[in-house]
């Protein structure tokens, strides 16, 4: 009997066999035990890598994004539902991001105009330092949104930031049409995470929460000394670096304790609860990204990606 | 001053809100412990357990504040279900084992207690001066083991850290009181333990009031329901009270942050 996955015939770059294998393994995932699923998930990722290589050869990047998103959803949901131990879904997100960058470069997203406006304004002669700083922050935020779009395989300018509302005090939120749970928040002031996106994943009872730090220009990542009480809760020792998932968790503890009732304060509390809860159920992802002016355009770099 | 009275009332309301929202947020946590434990074994990493525990300590603090026996028991059982395994399998740093060690000292199984004490002991020399939870764990482990010499050394080490200003003002005041109580316990007779426990409650109340004051002034605070339960003091209180003849043992005050009798009864009774 010829068994074993490697004996399948190759289909000459069409990717047929690896896709078939992915589909079969995804089905297997729904029936497996925790230990069995660990091996299955590892195979799925290997097959996804093969598939991505095959499709990249014929520039079919959109296909890679589609399949990577499907794989991510399945791996995330299986884990959130308690049937998979390791965060394989993040590898699917990385594969997705690679293809997305080639498929939809920044100028092809809805962030293009925002980016161009910020870059042109920043190039103005004799610009005030304070203004340049805030433009660099905007460029950093655009970089974060683009890099996170790539990881999610969705142009976020067409989804969560499309109906964003400025709440004042540099808080910007977005919710589904007709209201409901927060899906996006930018925070301006101290004791907050910079930016957060919360997305529903099909088949998962828990949402995927991405919290992050956006950096503009050459500004560095700092470290915070957390109160001693925090090591008692998060089981970490200070200092906590700003480009780490633990940093997001420390900020969430401040954010969820917000007592105010203004829209910005309510959004702050809700985001804190979302990040904090995700932090205890291993459904939190941290992304740090940087953007800077380069010629007449801007760069975007994903500098840190961390999951639990 | 009437403002003060109002303040106390609203502080109480905020604490209640902190506790009830923690219960709501983490209601499913104790039930997820099995998954976290399996997950940690599969990944050969302690992190999945620690991740879940951060919700669990807040849930336990909230259940304690509300004196919700059933929920407290569920939280304590979730700790007890994995205390020994993480100590044996992962030997995490002492500060991580503080809740486990304290619950074990408050009437938990003797075997778990021995394993935890050993795990803390093996790493004693690596505890940093700035790590106060780790130092508390080391002192409690010594006291549990009736090892007076190492207990005295641990107390001296933490006192030195306090003197070297490793901690802020309110933390330092709390710690110095805790060390007074620990020294009494280490002597094998702690006639003043009830009074010291009362002082520890005042120190805890001071720490909590400070954070609530920040919130009331519109500032940011990271206070959580975990701050409403002081397990290291409770463990110390239990050890101290055990040094006295039963007629001389005083019940902790209602509203205490470290009611060792209630905890032992709710967790293991």
Residue contact A257–B131, C-beta within 8 A: no
pLDDT of residue A186 exceeding 90, the answer is: yes
pLDDT of residue B168 exceeding 80, the answer is: yes
CA distance B226 to A82: 26
Q: For chain B, first and last CA: distance in Å?
A: 43
CA distance B175 to A83: 43
Nearest CA in chain B to A38: B42
pLDDT digits (tens, 9 = 90+) for B226-237: 999 999 999 999
Nearest CA in chain B to A254: B222
Contact B260, B235 (CB under 8 A): yes
pLDDT of residue A13 exceeding 90, the answer is: no
Interface-testing mutation among B220, B225, B226, B227, with chain A (most A C-beta atoms within 10 A): B220
Residue contact B43–A85, C-beta within 8 A: yes
Per-residue model confidence (pLDDT) at position A190: 86
- What is the share, in percent, of chain A residues with pLDDT greater than 90? 80
Stretch A112-119: mean pLDDT, rounded? 95
Nearest CA in chain B to A272: B222
Pairs of CB atoms within 8 A across A/B: 92
pLDDT digits (tens, 9 = 90+) for B186-216: 998 888 999 999 999 999 999 999 999 999 8
Instruction: Give the Cβ contact number of residue A238 at 10 Å.
Output: 16
Q: With bands split at pLDDT 50, 70 and 90, how would you rate the model's confidence at B7?
A: low
> Shortest CB distance from A232 goes to which of B48, B221, B226?
B226
Residue contact B222–A35, C-beta within 8 A: no
A231 touches chain B (CB under 8 A): yes
Q: With bands split at pLDDT 50, 70 and 90, how would you rate the model's confidence at B108?
A: very high
Contact B158, B132 (CB under 8 A): yes
DSSP annotation string for A132-175: HHHHHHHHHHHHHHHHHHHHHTS-GGGTTTTT-EEEETTEEEE-
pLDDT digits (tens, 9 = 90+) for A192-202: 999 999 999 99
> Shortest CB distance from A257 goes to which of B43, B221, B226?
B221
CA distance A207 to A230: 25
Q: What is the dihedral of CA A42, A43, A48, A53, to 10 degrees?
A: 110
Chain A CB contacts of B98 under 8 Å are 232
Nearest CA to CA, how far is B41 from chain A (Å)? 9
CA distance B123 to B86: 15
Residue contact A235–B221, C-beta within 8 A: no
Q: With bands split at pLDDT 50, 70 and 90, how would you rate the model's confidence at A2?
A: very low
Assign A301 to helix, strand or coil.
Answer: strand
Q: Which of B187, B176, B172 is nearest to B240 (CA)?
A: B187
Nearest CA to CA, how far is B208 from chain A (Å)? 11
Per-residue model confidence (pLDDT) at position A277: 95
Q: With bands split at pLDDT 50, 70 and 90, how would you rate the model's confidence at A7?
A: very low
CA distance B181 to A289: 49
Nearest CA to CA, how far is A284 from chain B (Å)? 11
Nearest CA to CA, how far is A307 from chain B (Å)? 11
Q: Which of A302, A74, A110 is nearest to A210 (CA)?
A: A302
CA distance B228 to A140: 40
pLDDT of residue A238 exceeding 70, the answer is: yes
| Residue A128 to residues A125, A135, A142, A291, B154, Cα–Cα distance (Å) | 9, 11, 21, 20, 56
Q: With bands split at pLDDT 50, 70 and 90, how would you rate the model's confidence at A16?
A: low
pLDDT digits (tens, 9 = 90+) for A27-68: 999 888 999 999 999 999 999 999 999 999 999 999 999 999
Chain B CB contacts of A260 under 8 Å are 218
Produce one character per residue of A16-28: b if its CB has 16 or more CB atoms within 10 Å, e if not: ebbbebbeebbeb
Q: Which of the pair, B2 or B10, is modelled with greater confidence?
A: B10
Interface-testing mutation among A232, A284, A308, with chain B (most B C-beta atoms within 10 A): A232
pLDDT digits (tens, 9 = 90+) for A277-307: 999 999 999 999 999 999 899 999 999 999 9
Chain A CB contacts of B95 under 8 Å are 231, 235, 237
* Average pLDDT, rounded, for chain A: 91
pLDDT of residue A12 exceeding 50, the answer is: no
Q: Which of the pair, B257 or B146, is modelled with greater confidence?
A: B257
pLDDT digits (tens, 9 = 90+) for B22-78: 999 999 888 899 999 999 999 999 999 999 999 999 999 999 999 999 999 999 999
pLDDT of residue B3 exceeding 80, the answer is: no
Stretch A215-223: mean pLDDT, rounded? 89
Evaluated on CA atoms A276, A263, A196, A225, the torsion sign reads: negative
| Residue B158 to residues B128, B147, B175, Cα–Cα distance (Å) | 10, 17, 8
Beta bridge partners of residue A307, listed in sequence order: A285
Q: Give A218: exposed, middle or buried? Use CB within 10 Å, 0-12, 13-18, 19+.
A: exposed
Query: pTM for the full model?
Result: 0.92
A66 touches chain B (CB under 8 A): no
> Shortest CB distance from A34 goes to which of B18, B42, B58?
B42
Assess: ipTM above 0.95: no
Per-residue model confidence (pLDDT) at position B188: 87
Per-residue model confidence (pLDDT) at position B63: 98
């Amino acid at each position: 009997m010829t068994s074993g996955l490697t004996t399948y015939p190759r289909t000459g770059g069409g990717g047929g066999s690896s896709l078939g294998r992915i589909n079969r393994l995804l089905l297997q995932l729904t029936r497996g035990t925790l230990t069995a699923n660990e091996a299955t998930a590892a195979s799925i990722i290997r097959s996804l890598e093969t598939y991505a290589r095959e499709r990249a050869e014929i520039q079919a990047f959109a296909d890679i994004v589609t399949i990577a998103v499907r794989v991510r959803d399945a791996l995330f949901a299986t884990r959130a539902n308690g049937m998979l131990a390791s965060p394989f879904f993040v590898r699917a997100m990385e594969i997705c991001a690679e293809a997305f960058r080639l498929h939809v470069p920044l100028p092809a997203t809805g962030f293009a105009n925002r980016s161009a406006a910020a870059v042109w304004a920043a190039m103005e002669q004799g610009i005030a330092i304070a203004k340049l700083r805030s433009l660099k922050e905007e460029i950093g935020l655009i970089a974060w949104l683009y890099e996170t779009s790539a990881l999610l395989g969705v142009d976020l300018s067409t989804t969560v930031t499309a109906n964003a509302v400025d709440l004042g005090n540099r808080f910007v939120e977005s919710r589904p049409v007709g209201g409901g749970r927060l899906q996006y928040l930018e925070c301006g002031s101290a004791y907050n995470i910079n930016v957060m996106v919360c997305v529903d994943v099909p088949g998962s009872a828990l949402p995927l929460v991405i919290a992050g730090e956006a950096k503009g220009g050459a500004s560095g990542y700092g470290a915070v000394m957390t109160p001693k009480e925090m090591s008692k809760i998060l089981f970490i020792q200070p200092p906590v670096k700003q480009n780490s998932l633990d940093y997001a968790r420390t900020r969430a503890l401040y954010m969820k304790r917000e007592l105010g009732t203004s829209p910005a304060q309510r959004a702050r509390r809700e985001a804190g609860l979302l990040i904090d809860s995700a932090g205890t159920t291993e459904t939190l992802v941290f992304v740090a990204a940087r953007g800077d002016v380069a010629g007449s355009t801007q760069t975007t770099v994903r500098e840190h990606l961390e999951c639990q | 001053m009437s403002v003060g009275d109002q303040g106390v009332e609203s502080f109480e309301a905020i604490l209640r809100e902190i506790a009830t929202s923690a219960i709501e947020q983490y209601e499913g946590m104790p039930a997820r412990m099995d998954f976290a434990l399996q997950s940690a074994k599969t990944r050969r990493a302690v992190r999945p357990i620690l991740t879940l525990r951060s919700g669990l300590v807040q849930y336990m603090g909230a259940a304690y504040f509300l004196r919700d026996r059933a929920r407290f028991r569920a939280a304590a059982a979730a700790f007890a279900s994995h205390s020994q395994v993480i100590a044996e399998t992962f030997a995490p740093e002492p500060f991580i084992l503080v809740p486990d060690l304290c619950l074990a000292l408050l009437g938990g199984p003797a075997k778990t207690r021995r394993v935890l004490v050993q795990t803390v002991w093996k790493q004693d020399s690596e505890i940093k001066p700035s790590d106060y939870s780790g130092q508390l764990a080391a002192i409690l482990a010594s006291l549990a083991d009736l090892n007076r010499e190492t207990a005295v050394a641990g107390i001296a080490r933490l006192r030195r850290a306090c003197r070297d200003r490793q901690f802020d003002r309110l933390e330092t005041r709390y710690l110095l009181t805790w060390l007074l109580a620990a020294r009494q316990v280490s002597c094998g007779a702690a006639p003043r333990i009830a009074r010291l426990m009362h002082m520890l409650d005042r120190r805890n109340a001071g720490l909590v009031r400070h954070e609530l004051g920040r919130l009331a002034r519109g500032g940011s605070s990271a206070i959580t329901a975990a701050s409403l339960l002081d397990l290291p003091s409770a463990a110390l209180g239990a050890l101290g009270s055990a040094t006295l003849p039963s007629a001389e043992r005083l019940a902790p005050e209602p509203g205490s942050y470290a009611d060792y009798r209630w905890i032992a009864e709710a967790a293991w009774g």
